[in-house]
Amino acid sequence: MRKQMIISVMSKDRPGIIADITGAIYKLGGDVADLNQTVLCGYLTMILSASFDPEVTKEDLLAAISHIKTRCKFEVSIKELDPDQEEEDMGPPEETYILTVQGPNKTGIVHGISLFCYNHNINIFDLATTLQNNQYTMALQLDLKHCISSLETLQQELEEYSRQSGLTIMMQHNDIFQVTNEIALH
């Protein structure tokens, strides 16, 4: 059975980072499965999962990456996955909702919303925020599977939160966004 590793890399962005990192994995006989990358303020961060032969260790991979010649050093973190921990990728569950938050920029918006989610045992799958003309916009993909409140209570509490914080907060089911923005009808 092959060994699964999760690799996270951060560096100043330049052409060739993915080629460098995946090159190091390739030389060790690794096979890349999922990869996600994003660039913010000129810095690139990526997270990827790859499988290796059992004898390859995370130290081998770290060494291979550190041998890459690059002006800005890679900040790398690697975790080996426990085979029992592996979960099948089932796609978003039925209780996936999209929360949008909009309002004038101030400190603590992201913290406040994420704390609200935590207090209700809501997991944040994905989160994107933008700041434009001093207007802050957050879009969160949430998993309500283990949420401790009913949907109705949650909507009421969000309304209350909206009133107190002066932010415009909306929560709608993920499917609505999928069907109105994607060509394929699932």
Residues in contact with other proteins by the rule CB under 8 A: 98, 100, 102, 125-126, 128, 130, 137, 139, 141, 151-152, 155, 170-173, 175-181, 185
Q: How far is the CB of 74 from other proteins (least distance, A)?
A: 25
Q: Which CB sits closer to other proteins, 80 or 95?
A: 95
Q: Which is nearer to other proteins, 5 or 138 (CB)?
A: 138
Nearest approach in angstroms of CB 166 to other proteins is 17
Give Cα separations from 126 to 60, 107, 123, 142, 174 (angstroms). Answer: 31, 21, 9, 7, 12
Residue 108 CB-density burial (10 A; 0-12 exposed, 13-18 middle, 19+ buried): exposed
Residue-by-residue DSSP string for 134-157: TEEEEEEEEE-TT-SS-HHHHHHH
- Smallest separation (angstroms) from other proteins to the CB of 180: 4
4, 51 Cβ separation under 8 angstroms: yes
**159, two tokens:** 């309304």
Q: How far is the CB of 162 from other proteins (least distance, A)?
A: 12
Nearer to other proteins, 48 or 64 (CB): 48
Please give the Cα distance from 113 to 110 (Å, whole number): 5
Quick one: 89 or 152, whose CB is closer to other proteins?
152
